[in-house]
Structure 1
């Protein structure tokens, strides 16, 4: 069964400057704490999403956290990796839970204008090391 690529898309007015940095920082904090409730207040359906409602994105994020916990993840830490599959060479945020391989990784796709989207990376370099 093919996996669905889950993307969070942000609207232009919230994708740059200070609002963008707050979104990035809170997303990283959320992944480190493995607690979707920290990121949920940052998301406003009418303001942040074009193609995916916030509840589907939060559900997919929680699923990643639940799988990591089931595998024994604790004391999460983040490292920067690189995508080796879909967006080759793009920086990834890899989240480790005490093992040598990441539990999950995300791409926060940014341009000079700000955040374009946030999505799960299934081919981050941490899995091949």
Structure 2
């Protein structure tokens, strides 16, 4: 199980921009298009020893896998993390068949996005 964390640009992560970042990330996941979110990641930011482009490559691979099975979009729902951040809300992304394809936890504190990471223990995996 691989945990991939994303830290966003600090000047983009506060206030109104916090909501914007969250909305754009969710839009990228629902439209299966990593380019929607790319410009919000700092060039020299690392997440779990992965740089911006390695993270985007991972995200794109998730999206490509969804497309290979015939999805052109996903539907967002909510769950809770059962491992790393027990009880925290996750964003779960489902196909039209109701099967979950991937999930992310968006961690915010005091109105600021702190990080975003793939959640392999979101409650939707166990339904």
TM-score w.r.t. structure 1 length?
0.86
Aligned to 1:20: 18
- 8 A contact 2:71–2:95 mirrored in 1: yes
Segments of structure 2 that go 5 or more residues without pairing to the other structure are none
- State the distance in 1 between where 2:110 and 2:84 align: 21
**Structure with more of its chain in helix, by fraction:** 1
Is the partner of 2:65 in helix, strand or coil?
helix
Gaps in structure 1 of 5+ consecutive residues: none
- Deviation of 1:66 after TM superposition, in Å, equals 1.4
Q: Are residues 1:104 and 2:102 paired?
A: yes
CA 1:38–1:89 in 2, change beyond 3 Å: closer, same or farther?
Answer: same
More strand by share: 2
SS for the counterpart of 1:103 is strand
CA distance in 1, matches of 2:105, 2:25: 11
TM-score by length of 2: 0.87
Q: Which residue of structure 2 lines up, in the alignment, with residue 41 of structure 1?
A: 39
Q: Is the 8 A contact 1:10 1:50 kept in 2?
A: no
The answer to whether the Cα contact below 8 Å between 1:7 and 1:117 also exists between their aligned partners in 2 is yes
For 1:92, what is the secondary structure of its paired residue? strand
* Deviations, residues 65-104 of structure 1 (Å, cap 9, x unaligned): 1122223334411001111122110100000012233100
For 2:39, what is the secondary structure of its paired residue?
A: helix
Q: What is the aligned counterpart of 1:63 among 61, 77, 101?
A: 61
| Residues 16-62 of structure 1: per-residue CA shift (max 9 Å, x gap) | 1122211111000000000111111222325xx25442111101101
Alignment root-mean-square deviation, CA: 1.7
Q: Which residue of 2 aligns with 1:87?
A: 85
